[in-house]
Amino acid sequence: MMIFVSLIVGVVIFWLLARFKLAGPDLGVFDEPRPATFGGRVAASPEHAAVVERILKLGAGARGRVGQSERIRRMRDALEQAFGQTEVDAEICPMSAGGVPAEWVLSPGADPNRRMLYLHGGAFMAGSPKSHRPLTARLSAENGAAVLSVDYRLMPENRRLDCLADCAAAYRWILENGPEGKAPLDTLFVGGDSAGGNLALAVIAWARDEGLRPADAAVAFSPLTDSTYSAPSLRSNLATDPMLAETFRQVQRLPRSLLLWGSFLLMRVRPQDPRVSPVFGSLAGLPPVLVQASTAEVLIDDGRRWVNKASAEGTDATLQCWPGLVHVFQAFVPDLPEANEALADVRKFFDLHAPRSADGRGGSKVSEGA
């Protein structure tokens, strides 16, 4: 009898700790409004079918009944094969950003004092500056900016907060260093996709709290903002997200208390901590932020909730949605028309918020000459 009572008490304590120490407050109030899709599109372009086929082919090679280490290795290889072999029209300069491996991505004519810190995606376990070069090269070209792409430490070899620490070190470094050496900057942008979008939103909040020079603007492509995994689209969009559905289908099968404990043990930090769940922190006093996502992906509500909460707290935050596309569709430039549209709109957003020059002009060299 005592064993049974002890078991019941243990289960209750397990649940209470998950509910009150690991889960964050209810964010349902930030699920509305739901903005119209960008540019009046009602469906994905015909070119999107080839993108989905490419993703499914790569995903098939990464799956299989293997151990965790082999699964992670396959995931990393798949991401490198997807984009890392693509030639880009940019100069690539490997270097150390405050002790963190990184590379400068410089399109022809990029302004060394107009800089962008970019943080790649890959579920915090995969990805690299190389795997994201097509995207960072295009961001450099669109914005006339020198892009610093950070090779932050990955999980599970490292802690989740190590990822953020590396990004913070690179942020501090880029304020005083450019591709030509030590030099102050004129303009700073921050960007990231998926896991990197999470890090981008976390690092601009960190910079605010540290009293550092803020970014002039930031962009997050399909960011994960809630590591307690509470957003409704994590379930409702499982049937429409070919990239993330399999992973999140497994996650959603777990009882919520087990999911929260699993997240805690994996990250080695409470899932509701704003350093890993930016949506739970203060979102006041941040630079202007543009979030872009697809209506079909499981992380759409993560972005929506962050933007709605940030707006409610006085931050200039914008959400743009495209219908029926894959997660981080911007990575499929130049083949996907919506990716080209999205990155052109990032340029417009950055130009709007970039510092004005003495003659009253602002924006990138590209946009001024367009």
The conformational region for residue 181 under phi > 0 = left, psi -120 to 50 = alpha, else beta, is left
φ and ψ at residue 111, rounded to 5 degrees: -80, 120
Q: Give the integer Cα–Cα distance in Å for 199 and 150.
A: 11
Which SS3 state, helix, strand or coil, does residue 124 take? coil
Contact 348, 320 (CB under 8 A): no
Cβ–Cβ contacts within 10 Å for residue 362, how many? 17
Planar angle of CA 235, 240, 246, nearest 5 degrees: 65
Which of 142, 297, 338, 341 is catalytic? The answer is 297
* Residue 6 among the catalytic residues: no
Cβ–Cβ contacts within 10 Å for residue 89, how many? 10
Task: Name which of 107, 129, 203, 135 is nearest 188 in CA terms.
Answer: 203
* Residue 327 among the catalytic residues: yes
Q: Distance between terminal CA atoms of the chain?
A: 79
* Residue 194 among the catalytic residues: yes
Which of 327, 338, 341, 364 is catalytic? The answer is 327
Place of tokens 């082999």: 70
Which of 128, 140, 194, 263 is catalytic? The answer is 194
Q: Give the integer Cα–Cα distance in Å for 339 and 299.
A: 17
* Rg of the chain in Å (alpha carbons): 20
Residue type, 124: F
Q: Could you tell me the two tokens for 131?
A: 């795997």
Catalytic center residues: 194, 297, 327
